[in-house]
């Protein structure tokens, strides 16, 4: 069931560096992100997949945590503002929203494949953009380490009750 998958997905902050992510699983996870919906189907995203030590080294000046270094794959999820839909009434750029939907597809697909992920948004976006040599229209929105969790235990989710976050009119 879908809810089981949602309960399985959690933020993983310890990865098995000795277990690489199989190419088929990586392709599957990225393909699930590709299939995410977006405003007017513009698909304004780019996924920069860092696997080699040299490629991942470019990430560390912007965000350096031991658990990110352990992850065999790090996906830098970017919004392409040149391709995103902008709402006419107020100019709202939906690139961040669209990328967020795709990232959660990626995270749920990873959980389905027995892989762990963690949304990372606390990083130096301009520094990362420079170190990855991203074009001016691309904005790094999230960093997602990807790999096999060192601890397979799924923690209990601490969420507000439904009654606190919904308003039925």
Burial code (b: 16+ CB inside 10 Å, e: under 16) for 103-141 equals bbbbbbbbbbbebbbbbbeebebeebbeebebeeebbbb
CA angle in degrees (0–180, nearest 5) for 71-50-9: 45
- C-alpha to C-alpha distance for 1 and 63, rounded to whole angstroms: 35
Residues 6+ apart with CB under 8 A from 123: 62, 63, 140, 143
Q: What is the pLDDT of residue 42?
A: 98
Predicted TM-score (pTM) of the model is: 0.96
User: Which domains, from first to last, does the chain contain?
Assistant: 16-148 (3.40.109.10)
Return mean pLDDT, the chain: 97
Confidence of residue 101 (pLDDT cuts 50, 70, 90): very high
Q: Give the pLDDT score at 120.
A: 98
Contact 87, 96 (CB under 8 A): no
Percent of the chain with pLDDT over 70: 100
pLDDT in tens, 116-133: 999 999 999 999 999 999
Token couple for 16:
């098995």
Mean pLDDT of 66-73: 97
């Amino acid at each position: 069931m879908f809810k089981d998958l949602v309960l399985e997905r959690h933020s993983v902050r310890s990865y098995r560096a000795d277990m690489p992510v199989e190419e088929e699983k990586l392709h599957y996870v990225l393909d699930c992100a590709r299939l995410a919906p977006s405003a007017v189907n513009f698909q304004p995203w780019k996924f920069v997949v860092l696997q080699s030590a040299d490629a991942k080294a470019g990430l560390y000046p912007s965000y350096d945590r031991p658990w990110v270094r352990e992850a065999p794959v790090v996906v830098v999820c970017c919004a392409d503002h040149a391709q995103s839909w902008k709402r006419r009434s107020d100019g709202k750029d939906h690139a961040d929203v669209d990328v967020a939907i795709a990232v959660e597809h990626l995270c749920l697909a990873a959980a389905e494949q027995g892989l762990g992920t963690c949304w990372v948004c606390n990083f130096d976006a301009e520094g990362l953009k420079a170190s990855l040599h991203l074009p001016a229209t691309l904005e790094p929105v999230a960093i997602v380490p990807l790999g096999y969790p060192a601890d397979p235990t799924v923690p209990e989710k601490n969420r507000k009750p439904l009654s606190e976050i919904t308003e039925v009119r």
